[in-house]
Structure 1
């Protein structure tokens, strides 16, 4: 018990007991058999999907660990995976969906790893950026071989890549613009929370500059960055395999490269201001499967529901436990009441 507590970073006995209760409940549900599962979906399929979802989370957690290591913070693998699961959970509590998930996740990483807020936010931003770049690359490769793919839609991928590269080249100029833009919602939040003093635009810009400097430090470590890209790619493939298995379980055969291609594009659904992009991601995935893979709406909906259950809903309780174990209560409180304080 003590060894496990030390590895996870001081998890108390009560919290470990809570994890044990959840594990026991999972065993009971698994032993009960496919009572409520749709026809054609068995417990083995669900178990495999959950395992693939865990691989995807674990790979991104290890990628976060690699970025933090470059920034001077050493974190164990198990703790890094727990931190990433916790950021997924806390991100769902952030207002305005994906738009606020990054700053909130930065708060949690800072609290859980004793790292400065700017470095923590930079680590989160870096991992998100790598996920986006790897996802777009896999989308281009996966959809490139599809006879159903619209060439005009495929052209959007390299255009996005060029725009992102151009933005990075003029990042110094964009920092000032970003500081002025970010200062507006921060001041609005401070007005809602009377005890908080609105930060100046210069203070916000300084924080943005420090985040960009941390990202630059990661970019100047090509070996570590390559490792981060590799883990993110493996995680993306695992997530795509989970969706492919869900499609197969509902009786729809779709080529794996096509699934690998449409999955990253569904990330646009996370921009919907809802917990974890709920409804937005599902709608995007269903639409992409219908338009690119020619899947009918009913089986596409069933497969997407299975996929989201395995990769989003099922891991949320584990993420909640990880949040409590890693001192996420303070981060949640700060996220709800004064995200702006971290930018002051």
Structure 2
């Protein structure tokens, strides 16, 4: 009886009334919104915001509407087929039943809209203003776009998309959707009923023939675009409560604060620091649902990029994250880990409020030299206890670790912590703490503190060393260690010199790697470009007219190019490279060329291949640069000699530029010379080119002074160019035409030079156009030139690409690129 009386007295002090049955009824809370003009209850409040998520929705709906308006006029037959996709009930009892159902759902729509209007009048009158503006905007857009379609694309296309002017439900659907979207009713009373009734009305209109699939898509997109446009233009009342409302909500929970000061504001969240006579200093975190789109996109990208075992199951909403923060802080306190004390988790309208008493202590980065070792040991003990209850911190940084007066250590922030985590997530916490503490006491002392706390085996230590990767470190810590040797120092302290060499079974952390994206994009672009090019000619007729024997010779010539490129690369490298593996590396470059300009992808892959073969980055870059330079030195005289032999220089003087063109080129060269002589340009060129020249010049001198290496390089470049010339000659002969060898060499080398300068993947478009132009100028008929060039590109570019992908994957798995 005494306990019951005390409980009732406490309930009365907290503002509750207890009934006979024992239920507790809270006293009415202070209203979340005010009633004065300019407040959230005004028809035009002063405080309005624009949500990032609304801007994204507007862009998405506008883009879809533009696609519909652009694609619909292209294929009228397909549009008719889509319009007649759903059967229409014409007569009989089913039509009568549908008509009655249509009346019923129309009444339901009206009732749901009425409920939303009443709710808006009571608490958020701006919704009425936005809804009216969106409705008018949607109707004007529907009429205007419909008239434009009928004028530009024809009356039938306009009627199929917008429906007839009379008897169509399209305008009504546009008006209702615009009104609903403009009023922003999500989460309000009547929102679910409105969606269900509108869906029922749409189903009845489709069955009765008042709507078709194209007209429904058009009406819904116009209405949604109008609603989102008004919400972005006018703004919405912020869901985050103002300070006076926040104080009232906290006072209802017996948390009376005399001071409330904004401390930190990020996307979707704001933190206050407050002081109260009874609670002391507190930290108040308010989740703002209006700004929830940006963190959501970041979390989705992290989920896509990293494996589930790395990220766990993070909360995708800020509300869920705040709830999880309160849960994990409570679990930490239960495990004896110093953490912020959770005082309350409250609702303030659609916002969520977390009240904590912050953890008081000294940051580990601010500890003295004598305290640093004690702080490091205490931090590892606290992390071990946290992991013991299955919680991973997820964001271990120097700012978040506190050293307490009693010698213990705790964590000041649990905003990214997760319960029931995997072993890999907990290992990432340990790796992050190692990196943090290594900055304070050194890598060796940090590893010693780890070994004194955790029972580690050589296998677990090797696994932990493999987790020291920047991609999984918390963002502040990742920025801190960028361009520093700290990760390497910690690895060496764990497993000795050599870093990750010798580690077997290192866990894979990334789900979506850049090279995976490259593979997907490369394959997509290749298929699209191949289909676009080959759709312009009759493939069947070209194949029937071709000589398969010569086409096989073209493929052989293409294969020789990779052998020549591998031999040329071997000539410029000081270390020994296996010929077979080097050929596979050159073949892999054919796949990379699908998404990069020809020179860029080839050079980048060769540098990577040399790095994996044991050369430093500087040496690999210099070797590849020398190879490209010597290739140019050999190719230019070859072009001049073949041009002279072919008679182009003597008999086709008209191909030389005119006097006007020469004057323009001279003026351009003069301007470039003046720019190059300017002091800022000279300094820039010197800063960028001098290191490259210093690394490249010794390699070039060594190669030119070594007859064996120079001969090997000459053979490789000649085999490389000879393979391409053989493939082009065989492609011409496959279609019963040919050219003299010197002329053929000039045409190929000129087209190859243009293709190397083109920014398109693999020189697409530029090489084909240059080859066709050169062959036509040399006397080959246009039809034969086109088919021969397509065969040549199929043999030297498209056919090696799938094989290059296989070589790319194989070399990756063997860690050769």
TM-score by length of 2: 0.29
Contact (CA 8 Å) 2:593, 2:762: kept in 1 or not?
yes
**Residue 298 of structure 1: aligned partner:** 783
**Residue 729 of structure 2: aligned partner:** 244
Partner Cα distance (1:178, 1:307) in 2:
43
**Residue 134 of structure 1: aligned partner:** 634
**Residue 684 of structure 2: aligned partner:** 180
Partner Cα distance (2:797, 2:682) in 1:
31
Determine helix, strand or coil for the equivalent of 2:575. Answer: coil
**Residue 555 of structure 2: aligned partner:** 50
CA deviation string 1:125-152 (max 9, x = no partner): 2332333333333322322233455358
Contact (CA 8 Å) 2:731, 2:789: kept in 1 or not?
yes
Partner Cα distance (2:643, 2:704) in 1:
28
Contact (CA 8 Å) 2:626, 2:696: kept in 1 or not?
no
**Residue 312 of structure 1: aligned partner:** 797
Query: Shift in Å at residue 75 of structure 1?
Result: 0.6
Matched, 1:214 2:699: yes
Determine helix, strand or coil for the equivalent of 2:543. Answer: coil
CA deviation string 1:68-106 (max 9, x = no partner): 1xxx21111101111222234334433xx2463365234
Contact (CA 8 Å) 2:612, 2:815: kept in 1 or not?
no
Contact (CA 8 Å) 1:56, 1:238: kept in 2 or not?
yes
CA root-mean-square deviation: 3.4
**Residue 110 of structure 1: aligned partner:** 610
Distance 1:135 1:304, change over 3 A: farther
CA deviation string 1:140-190 (max 9, x = no partner): 2322233455358689xxxxxxxxxxxxxxxxx9xx9799359xxxxxxxx
Partner Cα distance (1:127, 1:142) in 2:
22
The correspondence for 1:262, drawn from 747, 758, 762, is 747
Determine helix, strand or coil for the equivalent of 1:93. Answer: coil
Determine helix, strand or coil for the equivalent of 1:319. Answer: helix
Q: Which has the higher helix share?
A: 1
Distance 1:89 1:48, change over 3 A: same
Distance 1:328 1:179, change over 3 A: farther
**Structure 2 counterparts to residues 1-344 of structure 1, below 5 A:** 38-68=543-573, 72-94=574-596, 97-98=597-598, 100-101=600-601, 104-149=604-649, 150-151=652-653, 180-181=684-685, 201=687, 205-207=690-692, 209-267=694-752, 268-291=754-777, 293-327=778-812
Query: Shift in Å at residue 259 of structure 1?
Result: 0.6
Q: Which has the higher strand share?
A: 2
Determine helix, strand or coil for the equivalent of 1:145. Answer: helix
Partner Cα distance (1:100, 1:328) in 2:
23
Partner Cα distance (2:801, 2:635) in 1:
23
CA deviation string 1:29-59 (max 9, x = no partner): xxxxx97852332433222211111112111
Query: Shift in Å at residue 240 of structure 1?
Result: 0.7
Partner Cα distance (1:239, 1:289) in 2:
15
Contact (CA 8 Å) 2:592, 2:602: kept in 1 or not?
no
Determine helix, strand or coil for the equivalent of 1:114. Answer: coil
Partner Cα distance (1:179, 1:329) in 2:
43
Partner Cα distance (2:774, 2:642) in 1:
13
Distance 1:67 1:93, change over 3 A: same
Partner Cα distance (1:103, 1:249) in 2:
32
Structure with more contact order per residue of length (Cα contacts < 8 Å, sep ≥ 6): 1
Partner Cα distance (1:211, 1:328) in 2:
31
Determine helix, strand or coil for the equivalent of 2:545. Answer: coil
Partner Cα distance (2:575, 2:584) in 1:
16
Contact (CA 8 Å) 2:607, 2:624: kept in 1 or not?
no
**Residue 166 of structure 1: aligned partner:** none
Query: Shift in Å at residue 328 of structure 1?
Result: 8.3
Structure 2: 5+ residue runs without aligned partners?
1-538, 658-676
- Say how many residue pairs are matched: 255
Query: Shift in Å at residue 290 of structure 1?
Result: 1.7
Determine helix, strand or coil for the equivalent of 2:572. Answer: helix
